[in-house]
Amino acid sequence: MKRQKRSDWQNDNPFQVLTEELIFLILDFLETAPLDKKSFSLTCKAFYAAEARHRRALRPLRAEHLPALAARYPSVTDLDLSLCPRVGDGALALVSGAYAETLQRLDLSRSRWFTGSGLLSVGARCGSLVELDLSNATELRDAGVAAVARARNLRKLWLARCKLVTDMGIGCIAVGCRKLRLICLKWCVGIGDLGVDLVAIKCKELTSLDLSYLPITEKCLPSIFKLQLLEDLVLEGCFGIDDDSLDVDLLKHGCKTLKKLDISGCQNISLTGLSKLTGISGGLEKLILADGSPVTLGLVDGLNKLSMLQSIVLDGCPVTSEGLRAIGSLCISLRELSLSKCLGVTDEALSFLVSKHKDLRKLDITCCRKITDGSIASIANSCTALTSLKMESCTLVPQQAFVLIGQKCHYLEELDLTDNEIDDEGLMSISSCSRLSSLKIGICLNITDRGLTYVGLFCSKLKELDLYRSTGVTDLGISAIAGGCPGLEILNTSYCTSITDRALISLSKCSNLKTLEIRGCILVTSIGLVAIAMNCRQLSRLDIKKCYDIDDSGMIPLAHFSQNLRQINLSYSSVTDVGLLSLASISCLQSFTMLHLQGLVPGGLAAALLACGGLTKVKLHLSLRSLLPELLIRHVEARGCVFEWRDKEFQAELDPKCWKLQLEDVM
């Protein structure tokens, strides 16, 4: 009878007539909804097996889970182990055995403990491997890098901050991995001209080359500039390259395909050297000159031949009015301009520039402290197609100027007005930018709940909202945001001292919330935190520093419901050993900060450190260092955890207006 019923059910099940390809198409639509995908796999054995075969990407939290995952998911092509603090050679051997035929991308960018032996097993056995990220492998030496050379089909390789690798190791890569198209050697300070020269000579298909902060000179430049497919060249912080090393005859025949050039921080390259470099390729689309030479008329004249230039980054460069006006006149295809922290930007010059570039899409004028409402009026009237505007700390811009932004720039998706004089009228106008996904209005002391209500009513696509120290905001404003922006993922209300549990209860409707910072919200208690924990299951980052009334009664529900939590700051709260130990049940937890926890005793802390097996980073007060057993510290470090000891005195909170005045004095 039971068998008959089961057979009848199978006949009535519409999924039985679908091919595996069609089921995979259905699962493709669930890629952005992990909980729905999990529910699908738990429906029945057939769905469980189908989801296992469909899965192509894995991002485990611990290497010890790999055997079970390899058995469960046989078709993985992308394996991200960057969240695993300790990945040994045994784990890599398992990976190479399980995914020898399928693995294409492997990320070890934050992992440690593996050696050349483990990398050799991956390089030799995974013939389909095309991307490998070994960034931050600070203990990796030439022997380990040489093992990577066995991966003959490798297309992309990241070795950022592998400081023990030398020319010998990178030479092996150059000889073995001839098909490389991207290689990142940023901060590989052991690699010099010889290693870079070998890479450029042997890897002729390179399209992207990052040599940031390498001790290279002009000796390796001839080989680099002979690369016929190079599109992206990063020479940031290469102090060994100067004007004299940029020989005109050397440059005139190479890199005709170059589209992006980054020479930020190259203090030995002046206007003369830049003119030589920009003569390489008339197709250059993005030029990064941050922290470099002054932006003068002469410098911009050197850009005149770059008819395809769309993006210029001048962050931290002194600028002149003549230089900005020249950018307006000469760079006719400009779509993105960054002038962050550029001294010398004036209303007259900026207004002229934007009037010539009506198709500008992104503009960054952060900390341009001389501009006033004149510049904002010009930007709003000329650049109506802007999608991103960053103008943090433009302190001379008056309140009424922000109304113009909302009236004219309706396509804005990203807006940063941190530390400005915007008020509720400005927010009401800006709320007409219905495409906004990121809005930063921290340290804006003139906004209140009325302004936030408009944002909640009309900016339904908002995903990120920063209200740091905007003390005029109360529960009513947060409730308006929660009701009108259901897709909210990131919220910072730190030091908004009028916020209570009611705000958190209303925020619990935002089920996609991933990051919540309520530092210094002294009226919030565990009641509000419980509401967040129960309903915001995607929460991964939580900061409750100086929330004095949050105690263990908030931690226990958090531990039960927030299984995706990875980072938490408990400093100055009322959490004790009991609450801390309860967090050990969160398998995802990797980082916590605990300074000045009055209810914390060494024994309880030791138990919590042992129980939280996935920790990668812990910040503690220096006074606890001598109270914990040395063997315990070594044991936790051996699991891949890094301790940061802070000798920080207890700090009382300042009045917001007093705090801002002190900040202005410093700046």
Structure tokens at 376: 């904002």
According to the model, what pLDDT value does residue 666 have?
A: 42
**Residue 248: strand pairing partners:** none
- Number of C-beta neighbours around residue 639 at 10 A: 17
Looking at residue 312, the DSSP 8-state letter turns out to be E
Roughly what angle, to the nearest 10 degrees, separates helices 20-28 and 45-54?
70
Three-state secondary structure call for residue 643? strand
Q: How many whole angstroms separate alpha carbon 659 and alpha carbon 656?
A: 5
The alpha carbon of 570 is separated from its chain's Cα centroid by a whole number of angstroms, namely 23
Q: Where do we find the tokens 């023990």?
A: 164
For tokens 């992207």, the residue is 208
- pLDDT of the residue at 33: 67
pLDDT for 243: 81
DSSP string, 501-519: HHHHHHHTT-TT--EEE-T
Burial-class residue 267 by CB neighbours within 10 Å (0-12, 13-18, 19+): exposed
Beta bridge partners of residue 515, listed in sequence order: 490, 541
Whether residue 575 contacts residue 601, with contact meaning beta carbons closer than 8 Å, is answered with: no
Which residues, listed in sequence order, are joined to residue 439 by a DSSP beta bridge?
415, 465
Provide the residue type at 157 as one letter. Answer: L
CB atoms near residue 310 (< 10 Å): 18
Structural contact between residues 255 and 231, judged by C-beta atoms closer than 8 angstroms: no
In which band, very low, low, confident or very high, does the pLDDT at 656 lie, cut at 50, 70 and 90? low
For the ranges 84-93, 446-455, 642-651, which has the lowest average pLDDT? 642-651
Lookup: tokens for 407: 């009236």
Q: How confident is the model at residue 6 (pLDDT cuts 50, 70, 90)?
A: very low
> What is the reported pLDDT for 248?
56
Q: What is the mean pLDDT of the chain?
A: 90
Is it the case that residue 1 has pLDDT exceeding 50? no
Residue entry with tokens 């699908």? 40
From CA 628, how far away is CA 466, in angstroms rounded?
Answer: 38
Q: What's the half-sphere exposure (Cβ side, CA atoms, 13 Å) at 81?
A: 30
Which of 87-91, 204-208, 341-345, 653-657 comes out lowest in average pLDDT?
A: 653-657
Q: What percent of the chain has pLDDT over 90?
A: 74
Give pTM, 2 decimals.
0.90
pLDDT value of position 186: 98
Residue 125: the pLDDT is 96
Residue 2's pLDDT is 44
Give the ranges where 289-346 is alpha helix by DSSP (H).
297-301, 321-330
Residue 653's closest CA among 451, 501, 471? 471
Write the DSSP string, 529-578.
Answer: HHHHHHH-TT--EEE-TT-TB--HHHHHHHHHH-TT--EEE-TTS---HH
Cα–Cα distance, 26 to 46 (Å, whole number): 14
Distance of alpha carbon 90 from alpha carbon 105, whole angstroms: 19
How far is C-alpha 85 from the chain's CA centre?
Answer: 19
Quote the pLDDT of residue 252. 62
Phi and psi for 125 in degrees, rounded to 5?
-100, -30
pLDDT over 80 at 197, yes or no: yes
Give residue 14's pLDDT: 66
Report the half-sphere exposure of 319 (CA within 13 A, side-chain side). Answer: 32
- Going by pLDDT thresholds of 50, 70 and 90, the confidence category of residue 168 is very high
CA 358 to chain centre: 30
| Residue reference for tokens 């492998």 | 137
pLDDT in tens, 8-45: 444 556 666 667 677 777 777 777 666 677 777 777 77
- Most confident range (mean pLDDT) of 249-263, 410-424, 646-660 is 410-424
pLDDT higher than 60, residue 616: yes
Collapsed DSSP state (helix, strand, coil) of residue 40? helix
- What pLDDT is stored for residue 303 in this prediction? 77
Q: Is the pLDDT of residue 664 over 60?
A: no
CB atoms closer than 10 angstroms to residue 658: 9
Tens of pLDDT, residues 76-100? 999 999 999 889 999 999 999 999 9
Question: Residue 30 CB: number of other CB atoms within 10 A?
Answer: 17
Instruction: Give, in order, the Cα–Cα distances in Å from 414 to each of 278, 312, 365, 437.
Output: 31, 19, 14, 6
Report the pLDDT averaged over residues 60-87.
92
